[in-house]
Structure 1
Amino acid sequence: MNAYLLIDFGSTYTKLTAVDLVAEAILGTAKSYTTVETDIMTGYEAALAQLRESLAAKGLRDLEFVRKLACSSAAGGLKMVAIGLVQELTAEAAKRAALGAGARVLQVFDHDLTRRDIEKIEALKPDMLLLAGGTDGGNQTCILHNAKRLAEAKLPVPIVVAGNKSAEDDIEDLFKEAGLIYSIADNVMPKLNALNVDPAREEIREIFMDRITHAKGIHTATGMIDDILMPTPAAVLKAAELLGKGTDLEDGIGPLVMVDIGGATTDVYSICSGEPTQPGVTQKGLEEPYAKRTVEGDLGMRYSALSLKEAAGTKRIRGYLGDDTADVEAACKYRSLHTAMLPQTPEDRHMDEAIAKAAVALSVERHAGYLESYYTPMGVVISQLGKDLSDIKALIGTGGVLVASENPAAILKEGLHEQETPMSLRPKSPAFMLDQDYILSAMGLLSQDHPDIALRIMKRHIVTLES
């Protein structure tokens, strides 16, 4: 049998998916707690034993896998700091490149770095830096100043340089003399408001595979698998883009938004142009990528439950619960202290679902663009900042709280447009869908070799919900 084993070394669980390429079918799945603090292979072997047992029950004892591919967000995933010139332009472009590569962006710095900024970067302990600044042929002063600061600091982490190409030679000289680990990629913003994040994103992925996985001890898995290809969020973004756009041979499902509710963060992915859909509205600001990812580090079900409560407000969560007396503070505090908690009672499940509704509402609102109006001598002008998600075809949910819910559509519904906030460009009437088998990261991996098969499997396994 021509079978692949697809592995996600997650921050909490190591998840395995076995796929039959000939039948284009999922043979089985399994998961076990990720044991990155001891030996990551312990959790892998436990999950593999579960998978072997379920395969044996189907008559597939001793199945051999022709390929074993993995992604990882273990040990905090890929943590990055982005540096640019102007916050709204090259610094934002650098941030988007890092997010698109599957990183968790710890902080974005703009303009000239100070000694205090360097101290902050050192304290953040990132896995990698992305240095941008200036359009090609434009301002060199800032990126060269920042390169000198980094060279003086001699930070022991890889630096991807993706700024004004006119400054590349001088930066190389600085970094070589300082003995820094660095690589050069094309400018993330070669022209004003024009994004070019793919080269930097690919360079980040290569460094992740070559260096970061070794630093985190994940390299111990490489003897048992073929490749650790990318961070888990990058695999999910690949899957989302494939599902939306399709391939040369297979149609996708069209423009979509995907919400991944996790224990520490809520990630939102949009696969659409996001151009204005309303007449007379003009686009303003930095060009939006067709495939976009944002990460909300304060919106999580466990690790960041307290910060989610602060962001949403007690009243809002009580409204989702339908209980004006619920002790939301205590419930969120307990979840933040007991991150492995699984709901055991109806009350626990209702609280989890209320927290999830807040996570969806806030994360989609932050991801979506918005309209702003201002007066000119010619009358009122309306501009759009960010992506217009109002006409997307599907809103897809993934994450444990959605899979466990008896009514996941009710949770996803909180991401829709509301009359109370008419300037927000959130989805209006999408179909609600669910990744009920946790296959998105696996299909992102499979798409590296077999995109058509990965797409057809997703179209069968990502189910449409009753709304």
Structure 2
Amino acid sequence: MEKYDYLIIDIGSTYTKQRLFKDAELIATVQSPTTIENIYQGIQAGRREMEDILGEEKIEARHVLSSSSAAGGLRMVAMGYMTRVTAKAAKEVAMNSGAKILEIVSNENPPEYRIEILREIDPDIILLAGGTDFGDESSLIENAALIVESKVKGVVVIAGNINAQDKVAEILGKGQVAHIKVPNIMPTIHKLRVKEAREAIHREFIKQITKAQGLSILQQEITNDLVVPTPGAVLMASELLAKGTYLEKGLGEVIVVDLGGATTDIHSVIPSLEDLDDEERGLIVSNEKQVSYRTVEGNLGMRISAMGVLDVISPKGIFHKKGLDDSELLEEFLQYCKNMEKTPRHIASNQKEYLFDTLLAETAVEIALKRHAGYISTVADPVTGIMPGMPIGRDLRNVQTIIGVGGIFSHREPEESKSILKNALKDKGISLLPNKPEILIDENYLLYTGGIISQIDEDYAMQVLKNQFK
């Protein structure tokens, strides 16, 4: 009989993390460098460390589950009939699938531009949408022909007008383009159906990451035959915490700030938006009425993307906001950020570097939150009916809880971590950011485990998260 309930393995680009649970309590946690040449070697190293900690000859758990961000996500281009509609649908499809939307094109763009985008990005996945069921067929057929003409080698997920899909598959087949047919992601004007398209893309994500040496061995160990994209696991956990389960009440509106070395991800969940009917929800293109919403700032991070932070706010601007006036320290800060791109595993080793990391973290979080949230209009637009003082976009003012996730939060004292988020929220300006949220810190970097476990047992996962944030 297995001694433990869940062993969760997360393979990141830099570190591989393993968490062991019994009765919803964290029993052991280890972190080892990800061994790119053979990923399973890093997993084994961490496992041996865990066995030493617990005095076990072998760790056995009823469920072995895994997530990964090591592959970086599939490059995706979405093609549709109208850009705004396709953008909304594509973002929903990509949410947990392991894909990154790099470009959205439609019949509003000239054909030669669409071909140029495909050739420039050379995507792993093309989400081909367009037309409600038994509605417009021309856009789907035209875009299929352009994909063949572009000669890109990605997999096409045909997710448009169901009546045109066989014709599209024939065009792609003759052009020797790999393709998968799924139900229309927008079968009617007010309805999105993204589950099947998302699952198809996730299967392609798994195919990509299992090309890495050693991951095929891991697949033989995991008990549900899934490797979940890590950002998707964080989003699932965020939704679980916000909504709760039949047995456990959720926290209500939640924001999760996931600050990493390369990206800053913001997740927000507003459960009350589930109660909107189709007419009230409308053909949503903006994000204000989505229950769950995630933004990924790929140029804002603590290490590889440190210089991206300075591209948005200059070092002088960052120092000015913090009341710092030291030209020599400013130059050292700039050099520190440059060095981080070359040494992504660097850990701050003195008070000066500790300060530099704090400045980077507060700035990245502030920018990412303001990009994620809506704003108060300062101008009038008689065409749209917008007036000064009117809220536009995603309104996060009533969010009750913000959770900080990432290495900088888990390696500092909780109050120091909380101050990063508090300082990032100080200068709201016109942004629709929370007024007085409770700030929680994922000290043991467990949030993603709740998302993974929720696929097996939501109540167990909820208890794991409650134990973390009690």
Aligning the two structures, in what range does the TM-score lie when normalised by the shorter sequence? Answer: 0.7 to 0.9
Structure 1 counterpart of 2:469, from 445, 462, 466: 462
1:28-107 equivalences in 2 (<5 Å):
28-36=28-36, 38-56=37-55, 60-107=56-103
> What's the offset of the Cα at 1:320?
5.1
Superimposed CA distance per residue, residues 231-254 of structure 1 (whole angstroms, 9 cap, x where no aligned partner): 111111111111111111111111
Output the amino acid matched with 1:413.
K
Q: How far is 1:414 from its partner?
A: 4.1
Find the residue that maps to 1:204 and give its secondary structure: helix
Matched, 1:133 2:130: yes
After TM superposition, list the pairs within 5 Å mapping 1:27-426 onto structure 2. 27-36=27-36, 38-56=37-55, 60-111=56-107, 112=109, 114-115=111-112, 117-192=114-189, 194-209=191-206, 211-217=207-213, 218-226=215-223, 227-273=225-271, 285-286=285-286, 288-319=289-320, 321-324=322-325, 325=327, 326-327=330-331, 328-372=333-377, 374=380, 376=382, 381=387, 384-406=391-413, 407-416=416-425, 418=427, 420-421=429-430, 424-426=431-433
The whole-number CA distance in structure 1 between the counterparts of 2:342 and 2:365 is: 22
How far apart, in 1, do the equivalents of 2:391 and 2:132 lie?
23
Task: Tell whether the 8 Å contact from 1:175 to 1:182 is kept in structure 2 after alignment.
Answer: yes
Partners of 1:297 and 1:16 in 2: CA distance: 25
1:207 partner letter = E
CA pair 245-54 structure 1, distance change in 2 beyond 3 A = same
1:105-137 per-residue CA deviation (whole Å, 9 max, x = no partner) reads 233333357456445434434332222233444
Q: Which residue type is aligned with residue 229 of structure 1?
A: V
The worse-fitting range, judged by mean Cα deviation, of 344-353 and 122-131 is: 122-131
- Residue 286 of structure 1: how far off its partner (Å): 4.0
Q: Distance in 1 between matches of 2:152 and 2:450?
A: 36
Distance in 2, matches of 1:378 and 1:443, equals 42
1:246 & 1:403 partners in 2: Cα distance?
24
Q: TM-score, normalised to structure 2's length? A: 0.87
Question: Identity over the aligned pairs, expressed in percent?
Answer: 34
* Partner residue of 1:7 out of 9, 12, 16: 9
Give, in angstroms, the shift of residue 204 of structure 1. 1.9
Please give the alpha-carbon distance, in whole angstroms, between the structure 2 residues aligned to 1:54 and 1:295: 36
Deviations 1:372-430 (A, max 9, x none): 35355998647654321110110111001122234111211245374632xx2111111
- TM-score where L is the length of structure 1: 0.88
CA contact (8 A) 1:195 1:289 kept: no
In structure 1, the gaps of 5 or more residues are 276-281
Structure 2: give runs of 5+ residues left out of the alignment.
274-280
Aligned equivalents of 1:454, 1:225: Cα separation in 2:
17
Contact 1:274 1:386 in 2 (8 A): no
User: 80-89 or 376-385, which moves further after superposition?
Assistant: 376-385
> Residue 41 and residue 375 in structure 1: after superposition, are their counterparts in 2 closer, same or farther (change >3 A)?
closer
Q: Tell me, what secondary structure is at the counterpart of 2:226?
A: strand
- Describe the shift of the 1:216–1:346 C-alpha distance in structure 2 as closer, same or farther (beyond 3 A): same
Aligned to 1:391, what secondary structure does the other structure show?
coil
23-32 or 163-172, larger mean C-alpha shift? 163-172
Distance in 1, Cα, partners of 2:163 & 2:385: 42
Q: Secondary structure at the match of 2:440?
A: strand
Q: 1:66 to 1:378 in 2, by over 3 A?
A: closer
1:17 — aligned with what?
19
Give the aligned residue type for 1:340: R
Q: Distance in 2 between matches of 1:333 and 1:2?
A: 44
RMSD: 2.8
